[in-house]
Amino acid sequence: MKKRQRIRVAVFASIAVLLLGIPGTHAANNSKGNEAIAQSIKEKQNQIEQAEKEKNGLKKNLSNVQQIKKNLESKKKDLKEYIAELDQQIALIDERLTDLNGQIAVKEVEISDSEEELANAVERETDQMESMIIRAQQMYEKNGSLATELLSNTAGFGDILNRAELMEKLVTYDKEQWTDYQNYRKYVELCKKQLEIEKEILDQTKENVVLEQNTLELFMEQKKLDIEAYETDINNQEKAIAEYEEMIREQEEEIRALEKAIEEEKKKLSLKLTYDGGTFTFPVASYTRVSCDYGWRIHPTLHVKQFHNGVDLASPKGTAIYAAYDGYVVAATYSTTMGNYVMINHGDNLYTIYMHASALKVSAGATVKKGDTIALVGSTGRSTGNHLHFSVRVNGEYVSPWEYIVKP
């Protein structure tokens, strides 16, 4: 009799251990676990829906090459207007490329996070499966003896109800374990699907970068050909020469107006900026050659004698343009002749000018130090190739930049 009591105690102890070993201790806590994974599944489904929308919208924002060409054709009769419109389109494509490359960087991080999330989900699914296998083995080994032991040798009806409640908890626990497993499997599949879509988005975004880059190069080349064709057309020769001389005159007027405005500002604000005579830093991070030097030359297509007021430094598009010396920015803007340009006051009526940039990195009024990046090399304005046109002015006149800079 005592032996039979010891067996019953052992059985109840086993049941207690099993019940207390349930994740979260009790069925109520296990239910919270079910709610948590169900919420995770819902969130994952929403993320997949958003990723699908992102994927479907990728091609909608690409440049419409044919439409841009059509708009540009109507402006070709006026070279100045044509250049301004084309530069604007090129700038928009540049912005799109910057945005796309930013999206690629973000998406690569998201994919890394999704891969980690998937690995964790697979691990939880595996743990749940192993737990169920162990439980099934236990039930198989007991082969119903646990239920028989629970319901036999009872002290009365109340005792039967208590033991039946324990059995019900075991059954509920098993069902919840199975529900958990099914949810984890579903969550794993959703993680896999999201990861797959994110990789498709990454691939499509990289493809978009290539397409936009090709479009950019197409318009850059078209601009070069159109300017050269216009300038070499005999029927346009006199008009082209007159326009070119007008362009140089406009440049000079714009620069002089800026210098005059600075002199007035200095009087008002008592600004004191002096140049200490130091050597300028070379104004580009890298360059391939001096494509056109300072001084008199014969224009390559107009075939007229022309004074080149700066030095052209051929450099890859996007190369950093540096402030040659300490100073403050007089202008950072766009003109159809100089393109995107920066003008810096170094004191004592000494100014440097940086033309044809693809992008500006400073604004008027900013203080800069020698070597600061102020713009990026490009071919905006009256330009047919990527380069920096670098000019130096002293007391209202252009001087040779080689008096201030040394080739690296």
| Contact criterion met (CB below 8 Å) for 350 and 280 | no
Question: What pLDDT was estimated at residue 13?
Answer: 40
Question: What pLDDT was estimated at residue 344?
Answer: 95
Q: Is the pLDDT assigned to residue 190 strictly greater than 60?
A: yes
181 and 318, same domain (yes or no): no
181 and 295, same domain (yes or no): no
Q: Place 182 in a pLDDT band, splitting at 50, 70 and 90.
A: confident
| Contact criterion met (CB below 8 Å) for 160 and 154 | yes
Span 167-181, pLDDT tens digits: 555 556 566 667 777
| Torsion, Cα of 330, 319, 290, 391 (10° steps) | 0
| Contact criterion met (CB below 8 Å) for 380 and 87 | yes
218 and 255, same domain (yes or no): no
Question: What pLDDT was estimated at residue 22?
Answer: 41
The structural domain count of the chain equals 2
Question: What pLDDT was estimated at residue 248?
Answer: 73
List the alpha helices (DSSP H) in 143-156.
Answer: 145-151
Domain boundary among the residues 230, 246, 278 is at: 230
Positive or negative, the CA dihedral 390, 396, 400, 406 is negative
- Assigned domain for 203 exists: yes
223 and 311, same domain (yes or no): no
Domain boundary among the residues 230, 260, 281 is at: 230
362 and 222, same domain (yes or no): no
Question: What pLDDT was estimated at residue 9?
Answer: 39
Rounded-to-integer distance, Cα 230 and Cα 242, Å:
13
Question: What pLDDT was estimated at residue 312?
Answer: 95
216 and 82, same domain (yes or no): yes
Chain-centre distance for alpha carbon 25: 47
Residue 313: strand pairing partners: 290, 388
| Contact criterion met (CB below 8 Å) for 321 and 284 | yes
Question: What pLDDT was estimated at residue 271?
Answer: 58
Expressed as residue numbers, the domain containing 36 is 2-230
277 and 207, same domain (yes or no): no
Residue 398 sits in a domain whose CATH number is 2.70.70.10
Average pLDDT over residues 17-43: 59
More confident residue, 354 or 6: 354
| Contact criterion met (CB below 8 Å) for 363 and 374 | no
Q: How are beta strands 305-308 and 359-360 bridged, if at all?
A: unpaired
Domain boundary among the residues 210, 230, 250 is at: 230
Question: What pLDDT was estimated at residue 185?
Answer: 81
307 burial level (CB within 10 Å; 0-12, 13-18, 19+): exposed
| Contact criterion met (CB below 8 Å) for 76 and 222 | no
Q: Residue type for 386, please?
A: N
Span 369-385, pLDDT tens digits: 999 999 999 999 989 88
Strands (DSSP E) found in 246-310: 289-292, 295-298, 305-308
Question: What pLDDT was estimated at residue 12?
Answer: 41
CB atoms within 10 A of CB 231: 21
Q: Is the pLDDT assigned to residue 150 strictly greater than 80?
A: no
Average pLDDT over residues 119-126: 82
Question: What pLDDT was estimated at residue 343?
Answer: 94
Q: Is the pLDDT assigned to residue 360 strictly greater than 90?
A: yes
Range with top average pLDDT, 241-250, 301-310, 365-374: 365-374
**How many percent of the chain have pLDDT more than 70?**
70
- Assigned domain for 408 exists: no
Rounded-to-integer distance, Cα 383 and Cα 278, Å:
31
**How many percent of the chain have pLDDT more than 90?**
24
- Assigned domain for 392 exists: yes
- Assigned domain for 144 exists: yes
Q: Is the pLDDT assigned to residue 148 strictly greater than 70?
A: no
200 and 245, same domain (yes or no): no
Rounded-to-integer distance, Cα 387 and Cα 384, Å:
9
pLDDT-wise least confident of 114-123, 187-196, 260-269, 316-325: 260-269
Angle, to 10 degrees, between the axis of helix 157-232 and the axis of helix 2-20?
20
327 and 241, same domain (yes or no): yes
Question: What pLDDT was estimated at residue 82?
Answer: 86
Question: What pLDDT was estimated at residue 392?
Answer: 96
Backbone φ and ψ for 340, nearest 5 degrees, come out as: -75, 120
Q: Is the pLDDT assigned to residue 311 strictly greater than 60?
A: yes
Q: Place 399 in a pLDDT band, splitting at 50, 70 and 90.
A: very high
Q: Is the pLDDT assigned to residue 200 strictly greater than 50?
A: yes
The residue assigned the tokens 């697979």 is 122
338 and 223, same domain (yes or no): no
Q: Is the pLDDT assigned to residue 16 strictly greater than 50?
A: no
Question: What pLDDT was estimated at residue 241?
Answer: 64
Rounded-to-integer distance, Cα 377 and Cα 215, Å:
18
What tokens appear for 124 in the block? 């939880």
Q: What is the mean pLDDT of the chain?
A: 78
pTM metric for this prediction: 0.64
226 and 241, same domain (yes or no): no
Average pLDDT over residues 335-350: 92
Rounded-to-integer distance, Cα 41 and Cα 50, Å:
14
Nearest Cα neighbor of 382 from 76, 46, 9, 84 is 84
- Assigned domain for 337 exists: yes
141 and 280, same domain (yes or no): no
Q: Is the pLDDT assigned to residue 93 strictly greater than 80?
A: yes
Q: What residues contact 155, with CB distance under 8 A and at least 6 apart? A: none
Q: What residues contact 172, with CB distance under 8 A and at least 6 apart? A: 27
Q: How are beta strands 295-298 and 350-357 bridged, if at all?
A: unpaired
Q: How are beta strands 359-360 and 373-376 bridged, if at all?
A: antiparallel
Question: What pLDDT was estimated at residue 331?
Answer: 92
Question: What pLDDT was estimated at residue 359?
Answer: 94
More confident residue, 231 or 55: 55
Average pLDDT over residues 3-7: 42
Question: What pLDDT was estimated at residue 389?
Answer: 96
What tokens appear for 353 in the block? 């000018």
